[in-house]
């Protein structure tokens, strides 16, 4: 299984690329808050014990891995696209923007990018997308954890600032609790208005 986790990284390495980054996002679906993306460059043949698709890990496990990933990988970067940018350019384009920012924010310039999903952000380096990449590629899985934890931590801050919405519980997703709060209190400044049309 370990070699399977590095299949895409090793393939790029065989083509002569050295700094291969995995890229993933968190927060495309929520009704509020920014979308977050992360990029990770692993050391050659690096497997980080416990890393998996962030959706398959408990919050406690993700939190523990967050610091491990940051301290052990060759380079990492975390970036956001704001609610305003989501509203202005739509969620897909804002996600691509966050991914681009994450790749460009790496302290070591990547020469190849593995992107989770089925679309490529506009990068100035060679890249390929990997469908369900967070379950197939170690660097994408590591990026998925950094993006998810970063965004979740932001939601805990929102919960303190806007306690009536319960952001700590649903992280901005359209749960029953969240939609009821929006109907009761109206939207706040971090809500994505274009996502609320059906609710309002």
| Whether 34 contacts 91, CB under 8 Å | no
- Helix, strand or coil, per DSSP, at residue 108: coil
Q: What is the mean pLDDT of the chain?
A: 96
Write the pLDDT tens digit of every residue in 76-103: 999 999 999 999 999 999 999 999 999 9
pTM above the 0.85 mark? yes
Name all domains of the chain by residue range, CATH numbers in brackets: 2-153 (3.30.420.10)
Q: Is 35 exposed, middle or buried (0-12, 13-18, 19+ CB in 10 A)?
A: buried
pLDDT band at 53 (very low <50, low <70, confident <90, very high): confident
Q: Is the pLDDT of residue 1 over 70?
A: no
Q: How far is CA 50 from CA 62, 115, 149, in A?
A: 9, 21, 15
pLDDT band at 200 (very low <50, low <70, confident <90, very high): confident
Q: Is the pLDDT of residue 54 over 90?
A: no
What is the arithmetic mean of pLDDT over 125-151? Answer: 97
The predicted structure's pLDDT at residue 81:
98
73: phi then psi, degrees, rounded to nearest 5: -80, 165
- Helix, strand or coil, per DSSP, at residue 172: coil
Q: How far is CA 91 from CA 42, 60, 96, 199, in A?
A: 28, 28, 9, 18
């Amino acid at each position: 299984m370990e070699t399977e986790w590095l299949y895409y990284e090793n393939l790029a390495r065989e083509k002569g690329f050295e700094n291969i980054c995995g890229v993933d996002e968190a927060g495309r679906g929520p009704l509020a808050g920014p979308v977050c993306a992360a990029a990770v460059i692993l050391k050659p043949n690096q497997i980080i014990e416990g890393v998996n698709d962030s959706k398959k890990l408990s919050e406690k496990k993700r939190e523990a891995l967050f610091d491990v990933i940051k301290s052990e990988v060759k380079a990492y970067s975390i970036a956001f696209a704001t609610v305003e940018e989501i509203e202005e350019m739509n969620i897909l384009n804002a996600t691509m923007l966050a991914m681009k920012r994450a790749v460009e924010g790496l302290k070591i310039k990547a020469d190849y990018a593995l992107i989770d999903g089925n679309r490529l952000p506009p990068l100035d380096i060679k890249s390929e997308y990997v469908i369900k990449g967070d379950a197939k590629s170690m660097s994408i899985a590591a990026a998925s954890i950094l993006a998810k934890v970063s965004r979740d931590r932001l939601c805990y801050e929102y919960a303190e600032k806007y306690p009536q919405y319960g952001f700590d519980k649903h992280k901005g997703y359209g749960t029953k609790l969240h939609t009821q709060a929006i109907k009761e209190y109206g939207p706040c400044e971090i809500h994505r208005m274009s996502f609320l049309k059906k609710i309002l």
